[in-house]
């Protein structure tokens, strides 16, 4: 074939594959077998590899994602992504209808839509091709997650037909169906990772993954429901979204146009019970004025459209008996009470346990063993007790009392001022804390050692591993001698432990499990301090000068390194060959304008973003302070500066720089 013939064949293959993709994922009506589809896809992939000049980011071959790891870019929304006002009962819906009719002077048609419980997305198409996908963010700016969105098979990369606007944005909700959610949590459990709390959190977390190849495996889905600012396609919203379905967008079949607010209420009553049969989560109904002209007349408030409202379903509630309360000890030593219940059906699942959170919740509820309690499922895996039926309380029932000593090691519990949880302070000898620390250390975000929770349990119970440093003393002969370990699995574990020594400083730091030091904080600290030695000797005042490090985190870091047992642990890890030194090479300063100076930024700016200002400060020798203190050299102040920061700046006599004054200081130098 000539090059032009190859190009035409590639275009034809892409069109054919998109057609089959749409039939399979959007219409649930596959037109060819998986084998035939894969054969066509492989042919297209081979041609694209041979003729890279015909590459297209919207090709069906890009659905698998990429292994590239890139930070997300912030993108401003052309149209702000506003939220909806919420209603919770018929009266509030009637009030909404009254306001609409009063403003318009007439009755209206409404569109009722399922309120999908996922994460909002705005996708721009140019000439029928997917150009950019941006998350809600703060409503004004969001993350560019285009690479990840391209992997979602229900989102069209190329539109069908030719009557769409040249450029437009369409908005939808990215969700995780129940089947995908259950599969992912089963896989996480096998790896010893914490399961996602609910499909919404899982969908949001998946969309923010840095590896789009991993996103592609998760099984995300997307429903579309709105086109902001687009040329009026039809007279009504219902008609416009129905038309958008013809272009390849997945628009819910449950969307319905109705003639009155009473019809809206009937729609809500139907789905309040039927929603449990859906293969995904929905937490309410969205009600919209259908007429595009009427929407324009009604307009927007600063935060919400006047022509739409969300009706939130009440969380389903059941009554069952409280059998007992057990107390679980976590990795950080936090003691969490869990209610054990007489099994009861709730929101489509059998519930046997409910979270009680802390001692204050128990006291507030006034719980007694044997009480009939009201249980609610508000989006979490473990439901919660929200009340007690006092009329059904029998005589002589014992009140639930929070423990004074750790249920695992017997150590007296402590509760810090201002905190709700009780803690076991015996972090180096309390079994669940030790095992929890090891599980945290080997997790993917930390050292990424391939071992499940059951493996950690086995290594601990055998006496081979009592802390994370012991992992690096393990011998193949010791592991293969354990029950359920064959030569291959034992070798895989040893090799994975050895490979973990190559993990960067920030992952090793996160793996230590210092309280309040999450993955992001660990990265900030590893950038600010070149190695573990300089970090371990840092004073609280020095730590708080690091961006986003407050007093609580600083004190926790200081306390951790003050403990001799932790110092000994780190020495062992260093001897084992772990990387506790930053690989990043500091860029040469552009000038010394702020050499030795600490600058705090507050407010919003016209010419540059806060991140750009931070980069400029560091490029000119300065450091970023997260809070105002006597060590602050300058306050760079924009509009809407925090009043507490302003008050402290004036009190301490710290010079205030406007954005223009700041830029002038850099340019002068």
> CA-CA distance, 506 to 491, in Å (whole number)?
27
For 127-138, b/e burial (b = at least 16 CB within 10 A) is: ebebebbbbbbe
Cα–Cα dist 325/345, whole Å? 20
What sign results for the dihedral spanned by CA atoms 157, 163, 164, 166?
Answer: positive
End-to-end CA distance of the chain: 62
What is the per-residue DSSP string for 481-545? TSTT--HHHHHHHHHHHHHGGGS-HHHHHHHT--TT--HHHHHHHHHHSSBHHHHHT--HHHHTT
Q: Positive or negative, the Cα torsion across 551, 553, 558, 562?
A: positive
Q: Please confirm, yes or no, whether 115 is among the known catalytic residues.
A: yes
Buried b / exposed e along 250-272 (16+ C-beta atoms within 10 A): bbbebbbbbeebeebbebbeebe
What is the sign, positive or negative, of the torsion defined by CA atoms of 337, 341, 343, 345? negative
Given 7, 19, 78, 115, the catalytic residue: 115
Cβ proximity of 267 and 256 under 8 Å: yes
Q: Taking Cα atoms as reference points, which of 115, 155, 521, 444 lies closest to residue 145?
A: 155
DSSP state of 577: T
Please give the order of strands across the beta sheet that includes 634-637: 623-625, 598-602, 634-637, 656-657
Q: For residue 501, what are its two tokens?
A: 């020594």
Spatial distance between the Cα atoms of 363 and 366, rounded to a whole number of angstroms: 5
∠ CA 265-268-270, nearest 5°, is 110
CA distance 611 to 48: 38
Beta bridge partners of 309: 287
According to DSSP, residue 144 is labeled: B
From CA 417, how far away is CA 168, in angstroms rounded? 53
Q: 362 with 356: CB under 8 angstroms?
A: yes
Query: Which residues are identified as catalytic?
Result: 115
């Amino acid at each position: 074939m000539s090059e032009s013939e190859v190009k035409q064949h590639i275009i034809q293959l892409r069109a054919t594959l998109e057609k089959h993709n749409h039939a399979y994922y959007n219409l649930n009506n596959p037109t060819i077998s998986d084998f035939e589809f894969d054969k066509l896809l492989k042919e297209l992939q081979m041609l694209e590899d041979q003729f890279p000049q015909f590459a297209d980011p919207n090709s069906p071959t890009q659905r698998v994602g990429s292994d590239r790891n890139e930070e997300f870019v912030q993108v401003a929304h052309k149209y702000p992504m506003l939220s909806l006002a919420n209603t919770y009962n018929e009266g509030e819906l009637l009030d909404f209808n009254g306001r609409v009719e009063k403003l318009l002077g007439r009755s209206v048609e409404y569109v009722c839509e399922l309120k999908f419980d996922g994460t909002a997305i705005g996708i721009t198409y140019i000439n029928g091709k997917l150009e950019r996908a941006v998350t809600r963010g703060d409503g004004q700016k969001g993350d560019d997650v285009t690479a990840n969105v391209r992997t979602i098979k229900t989102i069209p990369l190329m539109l069908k037909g030719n009557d769409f606007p040249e450029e437009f944005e369409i908005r939808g909700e990215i969700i995780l169906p129940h089947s995908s959610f259950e599969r992912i949590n089963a896989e996480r459990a096998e790896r010893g990772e914490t399961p996602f709390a609910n499909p919404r959190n899982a969908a949001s977390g998946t969309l923010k993954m840095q590896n789009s190849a991993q996103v592609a495996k998760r099984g995300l889905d997307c429903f579309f429901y709105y086109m902001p600012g687009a040329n009026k396609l039809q007279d009504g919203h219902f008609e416009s979204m129905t038309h958008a379905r013809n272009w390849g967008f997945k628009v819910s079949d449950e969307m319905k146009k109705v003639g009155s607010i009473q019809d809206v209420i009937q729609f809500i009553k139907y789905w309040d019970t039927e929603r449990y049969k859906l293969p995904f989560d929905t937490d309410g109904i969205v009600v919209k004025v259908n007429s595009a002209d009427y929407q324009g007349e009604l307009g927007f408030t600063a935060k919400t459209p006047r022509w739409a409202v969300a009706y939130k379903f009440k969380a389903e509630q059941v009554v069952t008996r409280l059998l007992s309360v057990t107390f679980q000890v976590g990795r950080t030593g936090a003691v969490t009470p869990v209610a054990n219940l007489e099994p009861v059906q709730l929101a489509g699942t059998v519930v046997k346990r409910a979270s009680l959170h802390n001692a204050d919740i128990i006291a507030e509820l006034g719980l007694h063993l044997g009480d009939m309690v009201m249980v609610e499922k508000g989006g979490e895996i473990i439901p919660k007790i929200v009340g007690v039926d006092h009329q059904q309380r029998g005589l002589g029932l014992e009140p639930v009392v929070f423990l004074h000593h750790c249920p695992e090691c017997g150590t007296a519990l402590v509760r810090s001022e201002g905190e709700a949880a009780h803690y076991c302070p015996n972090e180096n000898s309390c079994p669940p804390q030790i095992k929890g620390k090891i599980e945290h250390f080997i997790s993917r975000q930390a050292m990424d050692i391939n071992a499940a929770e059951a493996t950690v349990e086995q290594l601990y119970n055998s006496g081979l591993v009592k802390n994370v440093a012991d992992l690096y003393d393990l011998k193949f002969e010791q592991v293969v001698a354990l029950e359920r370990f064959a030569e291959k699995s034992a070798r895989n574990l040893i090799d994975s432990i050895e490979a973990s020594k190559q993990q960067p400083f920030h992952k090793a730091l996160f793996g230590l499990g210092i309280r309040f030091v999450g993955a992001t904080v660990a990265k900030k600290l590893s950038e600010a301090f070149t190695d573990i030695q300089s970090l371990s000797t840092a004073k609280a005042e020095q730590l708080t000068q690091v961006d986003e490090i407050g007093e609580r985190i600083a004190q926790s870091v200081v306390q951790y390194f003050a403990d001799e047992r932790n110092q000994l642990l780190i020495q062992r890890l260093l001897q084992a060959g772990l990387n506790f030194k930053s690989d990043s090479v500091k860029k040469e300063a552009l000038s010394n304008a702020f050499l030795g100076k600490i600058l705090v930024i507050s407010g919003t700016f016209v010419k540059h973003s806060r991140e750009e200002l931070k980069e400029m400060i560091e490029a000119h020798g300065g450091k970023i302070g997260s809070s105002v203190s006597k060590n602050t050299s300058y306050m760079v102040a924009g509009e809407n500066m925090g009043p507490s920061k302003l008050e402290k700046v004036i009190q301490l006599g710290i010079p205030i720089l406007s954005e223009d004054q700041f830029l002038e200081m850099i340019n002068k130098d």
